[in-house]
């Protein structure tokens, strides 16, 4: 993976945008802090200068010019060079005291350079190349100047600028480095997804997208993709299985149909024999068409498109409807029926498919069990709705209970009876569509089929 891929990646761009926003926010915050600190320090400095000026002005107002001159001279001697500035001069420019040379009189605040250009008419205030905040006052025939160096304010400003500059530089470097690391990790995971997709495209349907177990967005995406791939693999496997089943199991009836028609065509036959042959061919064709219809219905169910039509279904009502429909059939077959249906058991599902599933279960028990068999239909609620169809017939061997759920699979003892071997496959497809658990177990004697549905609260 090239370095440019990192800089073009979405994670790196996101980091870059947020870094830019942080820098802009930090610049605005720094400007506010810089202005606030400078303003506050300047205000405090002005207060100090005014405090220094006040006793000098008081001495002048009391009519004690000698005391004013003495005070200026004493303070000038005690002042640190380049820090406190004092000047007392006459309007004619005669310096009476202070630590700076004469200066052009003014009134109010000014910010002046401590080192001025010699070509200018101003005279230097100090030997330091700095600026000072000074307050000028005209006291009769004398001019008083009191000031303080702005060195500390400038040093604080420089410190703020350097600190923010270093902080921003480190932040930008860390952000860019973190963005590169983050992009690298994200790109590796995306590349792993792309590699999995390439293998799947090449035919390896068992390949899955790796997940790290971090439960983040990419992990959730990988889980969803893997679930989709599982479903696709199941559908393709079912399609392949259906194709194989059709090739093997429908070839025999189609072959018999062709042989019967060909035998009828080759022999001398009466009109009645031709009609009998045609009727037999139509019967076999209808059986084959019914098989194809069942296969298409199973495929439709397994595609799960009908889940969009799910609604709340009263499974108790469905059970009673099927029992009512089969009651006479079971009685005619010489079998007995035991029912125990709990009222108002509701689930989320497709009413037509649930009716077909229960009808298939009862029809299988009636069709494959001899006279005298007891058939039980039980429905209970609780944490999950449980539907049981049990009989005391011949049952299914343990080693074949999984196999009978496949398409076209028939027990050896059932091959002489009518049927396509799709009944239990249809039942399993409907159970899977409803996220129900289908279990075949020994009824001792006979077979017990249990379907457990996620239940809704009873009405």
pLDDT, one tens digit per residue, over 264-284 is 777 776 778 778 888 888 887
pLDDT category, 247, cuts 50, 70, 90? low
Lowest mean pLDDT among 7-21, 42-56, 337-351: 7-21
The average pLDDT across 213-225 equals 79
Q: What is the pLDDT of residue 129?
A: 56
CATH of domain 8-155: 3.30.450
Q: Is the pLDDT of residue 298 over 50?
A: yes
* pLDDT tens-digit readout, 349-393: 889 889 988 998 998 888 888 898 999 999 998 788 999 999 988
pLDDT of residue 118: 36
User: Could you tell me what percent of the chain has a pLDDT over 90?
Assistant: 14
Q: Contact at 8 Å (CB) between 229 and 200?
A: yes
Indicate the domain borders of the chain. Answer: 8-155, 308-454
Mean pLDDT is highest, among 245-254, 293-302, 440-449, for 440-449
pLDDT at 112 over 60: yes
What is the predicted pLDDT for the residue at 119? Answer: 37
Predicted structure pTM score: 0.50
Mean pLDDT within 230-245 = 73
pLDDT (average), residues 256-262: 80
Average pLDDT in the 172-179 region? 78
Please report which confidence band the pLDDT of residue 225 belongs to, taking 50, 70 and 90 as the band edges: confident
Rg (C-alpha) for the chain, rounded Å, is 50
CA–CA distances in Å: residue 51 to residues 54, 139, 148, 259:
5, 17, 12, 126
What is the structure's pLDDT at 122? 42
Mean of the per-residue pLDDT values of the chain: 81
pLDDT tens by residue, 315-342: 999 999 999 999 888 888 899 989 899 9
pLDDT band at 410; cut points 50, 70, 90: low
Give the whole-angstrom CA distance, residue 442 versus residue 392.
Answer: 10
Q: What is the pLDDT of residue 109?
A: 93
Check pLDDT > 80 for residue 183. no
**What is the 3-class SS of the chain, one letter each residue?**
CCHHHHHHCHHHHHHHHHHHHHHHHHHHHHHHHHHHHHHHHHHHHHHHHHHHHHHHHHHHHCCCHHHHHHHHHHHHHHCCCCCEEEEEEECCCCEEEECCCCCCCCCEEEEEECCCCCCCCCCCCCCCCCEEEEEEEEECCEEEEEEEECHHHHHHHHHHHHHHHHHHHHHHHHHHHHHHHHHHHHHHHHHHHHHHHHHHHCCCCCCCCCCCCCCCHHHHHHHHHHHHHHHHHHHHHHHHHHHHHHHHHCHHHHHHHHHHHHHHHHCCCCHHHHHHHHHHHHHHHHHHHHHHHHHHHHHHHHCCHHHHHCEEEEHHHHHHHHHHHHHHHHHHCCCEEEEEECCCCEEEECHHHHHHHHHHHHHHHHHHCCCCCEEEEEEECCCEEEEEEEECCCCCCHHHCCHHHCCCCCCHHHCCCCCCCCHHHHHHHHHHHCCCEEEEEECCCCEEEEEEEEECCCC
Q: Which CATH number fits domain 308-454: 3.40.640.10, 3.30.565.10, 3.40.30.10, 3.90.1170.40?
A: 3.30.565.10
State the pLDDT at residue 452: 92
pLDDT band at 123 (very low <50, low <70, confident <90, very high): very low
Q: What is the mean pLDDT of residues 338-347?
A: 89
Q: At residue 82, does pLDDT exceed 80?
A: no
């Amino acid at each position: 993976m090239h370095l440019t891929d990192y800089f073009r990646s979405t994670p790196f761009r996101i980091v870059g945008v947020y870094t830019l926003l942080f820098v802009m926010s930090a610049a605005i915050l720094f400007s506010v802090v810089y202005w606030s600190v400078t303003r506050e320090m300047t205000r405090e400095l002005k207060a100090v200068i005014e405090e220094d000026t006040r006793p000098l002005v008081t001495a002048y107002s009391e009519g004690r010019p000698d005391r004013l001159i003495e005070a200026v001279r004493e303070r000038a001697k005690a002042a640190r060079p380049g820090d406190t500035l004092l000047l007392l001069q006459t309007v004619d420019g005669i310096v009476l005291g202070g630590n700076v040379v004469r200066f052009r009189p003014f009134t109010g605040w000014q910010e002046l350079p401590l080192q001025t250009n010699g070509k200018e008419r101003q005279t230097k205030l100090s030997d330091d190349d700095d600026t000072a905040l000074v307050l000028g006052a005209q006291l009769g025939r004398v001019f008083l100047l009191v000031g303080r160096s702005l060195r500390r304010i400038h040093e604080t400003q420089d410190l703020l600028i350097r600190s923010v500059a270093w902080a921003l530089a480190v932040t930008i470097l860390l952000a860019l480095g973190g963005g590169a690391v983050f992009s690298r990790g994200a790109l590796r995971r995306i590349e792993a997804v792309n590699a999995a997709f390439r293998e799947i495209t090449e035919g390896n349907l068992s390949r899955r997208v790796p997940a790290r177990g971090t439960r983040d967005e990419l992990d959730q995406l990988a889980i969803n993709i893997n679930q989709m791939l599982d479903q696709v693999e199941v559908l393709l496997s079912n399609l392949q299985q259906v194709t194989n089943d059709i090739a093997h199991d429908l070839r025999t009836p189609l072959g018999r149909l062709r042989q019967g028609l060909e035998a009828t065509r080759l022999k001398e036959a009466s009109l009645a024999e031709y009609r009998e042959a045609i009727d037999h061919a139509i019967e076999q064709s209808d059986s084959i068409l019914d098989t194809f219809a069942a296969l298409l219905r199973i495929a439709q169910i397994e595609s799960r498109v009908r889940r969009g039509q799910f609604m709340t279904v009263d499974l108790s009502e469905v059970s009673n409807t099927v029992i009512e429909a089969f009651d006479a059939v079971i009685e005619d077959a010489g079998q007995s029926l035991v029912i125990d249906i709990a009222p108002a058991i509701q689930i989320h599902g497709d009413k037509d498919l649930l009716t077909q599933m229960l009808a298939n279960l009862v029809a299988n028990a009636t069709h494959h069990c001899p006279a005298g068999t007891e058939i039980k239909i039980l429905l209970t609620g609780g944490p999950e709705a449980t539907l049981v169809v049990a009989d005391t017939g011949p049952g299914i061997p343990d080693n074949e209970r999984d196999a009978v759920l496949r398409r076209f699979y028939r027990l050896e003892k059932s091959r002489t009876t009518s049927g396509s071997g799709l009944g239990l496959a249809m039942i399993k497809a409907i159970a899977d569509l409803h996220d129900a658990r289908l279990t075949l177990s020994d009824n001792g004697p006979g077979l017990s089929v249990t379907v457990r549905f996620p239940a809704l609260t009873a009405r």
